[in-house]
Amino acid sequence: MPTYPVAPMAVALPSPYAGFWLRVVAYLIDGIILAVIYGLLFLIGIAFVGVGSIETIAREMHNGDAEPPVAFFMMIIFVGFLCIIASWIYHAYLESSPNQGTLGKMALGLIVTDLQGRRISFGHATGRFFAKIITSLIPLGIGYMMAGFTEKKQALHDMIAATLVLRKN
């Protein structure tokens, strides 16, 4: 019986690009971290307005006289603004740092780069952060889900900002 040469087996190397599910887990880790930061900012806001005024608001709402003071609304708006700033600084600073990723990305061994694999600047990371606004405007999260289907695993904001999310070697 003749013997035939065995064809070499193709070795499937892992993709250098971070797929959708890895990015979802990193997003969840970052979400937990940012929720703690937002909570602290809210507690600081309550401290400025005063716990007594929060009690007064709750009591008046219970009695049907729900007219919160202007200071409370101003605190909510100001804390909301601080939360946006905190999120921007968290993402842009960490993604442009030597670690090239947020704490969630670092935990999973992911880095953010430009299209040539180089570290991005703070300005570039800022553009990527605000491009996520456009990504989030697309219904059903399709802008984010694109990371699972595109060749380089890019979400819409990555395409807009010309960035990649890679697995660290």
CB atoms under 10 Å from CB of 75, counted, come to 22
Low-confidence stretches of the chain (pLDDT beneath 50): 11, 13
Q: Do the Cβ atoms of 79 and 45 come closer than 8 Å? A: yes
Model pLDDT, residue 9: 55
pLDDT tens, residue by residue, 114-148:
999 999 999 999 999 999 999 999 999 999 999 99
Q: Residue 82 contacts by C-beta under 8 Å, 6 or more apart in sequence?
A: 41
**Given this model, what pLDDT does residue 56 score?**
72
The 3-state DSSP class for residue 114 equals strand
Q: Please name the residues in contact with 164: beta carbons below 8 A apart, sequence gap of 6 or more.
A: 17, 112, 113, 114, 115, 117, 152, 153, 154, 158
- Enter the pTM of the model: 0.82
Q: What region does 32 belong to: left with phi over 0, alpha with psi -120 to 50, or beta?
A: alpha
Q: Which two tokens stand for residue 143?
A: 């802008």
Four-point Cα dihedral 74, 39, 96, 133, nearest 10:
-60
Domain residue ranges of the chain, discontinuous segments joined by +:
20-50+63-167
- Sequence-separated (6 or more) residues with CB below 8 Å from residue 113: 100, 119, 120, 163, 164, 165, 166
Say what the pLDDT of residue 137 is: 94
Instruction: Find the length of the chain.
Output: 169
